[in-house]
Amino acid sequence: MASSPFLSKTTISFSSSISTSLPWRPSPFSSSSTAFRSNPRRRTLTVQSKIREIFMPALSSTMTEGKIVSWVKSEGDVLSKGESVVVVESDKADMDVETFYDGILAAIVVGEGETAPVGAAIGLLAETEEEVAEAREKAKSSSSGSPASSSPVEAAVTPTPPPATATPAPAIAQPAPSATATYTPKKGVATPFAKKLAKQHKVDIASVVGTGPFGRITPADVEAAAGIVKPTKAVAAEPTSVAAAPPKPSAAAPPLLPGSTVVPFTTMQAAVSKNMVESLSVPTFRVGYPINSDAIDALYEKVKPKGVTMTALLAKAAAMAVAQHPVVNASCKDGKSFSYNSSINIAVAVAINGGLITPVLQDADKLDLYLLSQKWKELVEKARSKQLQPHEYSTGTFTLSNLGMFGVDKFDAILPPGQGAIMAVGASKPTVVADVDGFFSVKSKMLVNVTADHRIVYGADLAAFLKTFANIVENPESLTL
């Protein structure tokens, strides 16, 4: 099966060939075509249909399902390779998706506003007008059939008959009596997690029969093939049937207060929730450091007319400090080892409508302040219009969260999964301080708190990093070089 998706700078191209005609040709080395056909080992599989599935693409490494924002094309529209077909909402952004084949959009399987798991079919693409009606019929039959039924868009000829329980999909022309049309799972039909499980348990993925949408091989299918039985909670014997026993009230969610409204998570909120729960498994610690901000406040007033923001100044200072303490830029993902990242990519938290996203300033230590500020402005605009590309929000190695702009003087940030540290910057406020001679004065101070992965970064490492960062902020001339 052809692979999907295909990434481009602004769009995603995808579509998978479900059935491509493979006509039999006699071998030039055989004496006759009849002799070639009589050899069962040389039999060529022939696929009868030319209908292709359009899959839900994986737009990021954390995406497990996507939501259809809108279909750019309608059923019956003729598509050319490279045309935008549908807009998909991932966990971080909305992206146009292109078709990788010429054809006709025969059927829309997943409508606007609906969600589908990554790898599931969201539409059917036909090559000719004659196949459109067939594709639509198959789409209807698949939506009303059982999950374990035959695929509605493929009829592959196999050299051996299927199990007796298999039922051929309706509206598919039957081949010769010697070969029965049925759906056979292939390598590309399995979900990524199912493939991972198959590799771990040494299960031949080609031998697993999928029970997911359109015959997808799910993790449960692989576990069943491997003989893994999930443990079930023991239930005390009761006079009545256990199967008929209703769920216990204690296990139910607390009742809602009168007048309450249940609001389901958006795709982005669900992704944030998943990441926050995942971060709880990481052993972290926090260190606070007060920094004199008079000098950087003065520099900000000078560069502000040129479009430089305080966030850009802090991101540049953080990148320069990280360059001197590479352990803060490291990451641990498997709990057994950690890696030093070759690039310093500063992710900065941005609040947008309905969620939170962290656009990434890549190689921030190598960009001058004004170029970095321009890049940051572009990223914020793309983030708020949900047009960020995956590499623009998923490649951060160190994160900065600046709530000081809202007047917050102190807070702790939650460490993003896969990173070594995150910095929380509070507001700059006048503070009474005493010098070494006992004289009092008023200076601007901001409190910086850093949350770090204690498997990688230790207290002394973080203290040294914060001391370097404070020195850069209190003597900010190097930021403009």
Could you tell me if 68 and 113 are in contact, meaning their C-beta atoms sit under 8 angstroms apart?
yes
128 by DSSP, 3-state: which?
coil
Q: Tell me the C-alpha distance between 317 and 475, whole Å.
A: 10
Q: Tell me the C-alpha distance between 445 and 409, whole Å.
A: 10
Could you tell me if 420 and 399 are in contact, meaning their C-beta atoms sit under 8 angstroms apart?
no
316 by DSSP, 3-state: which?
helix
Q: Tell me the C-alpha distance between 478 and 295, whole Å.
A: 12
Could you tell me if 187 and 1 are in contact, meaning their C-beta atoms sit under 8 angstroms apart?
yes
Sign of CA dihedral 453, 454, 458, 462: positive
Residue 342 CB neighbours (<10 A): 9
Residue 113 CB neighbours (<10 A): 10
Paired tokens of 55: 């899959």
Active centre residues (catalytic): 454
Paired tokens of 24: 């039999």
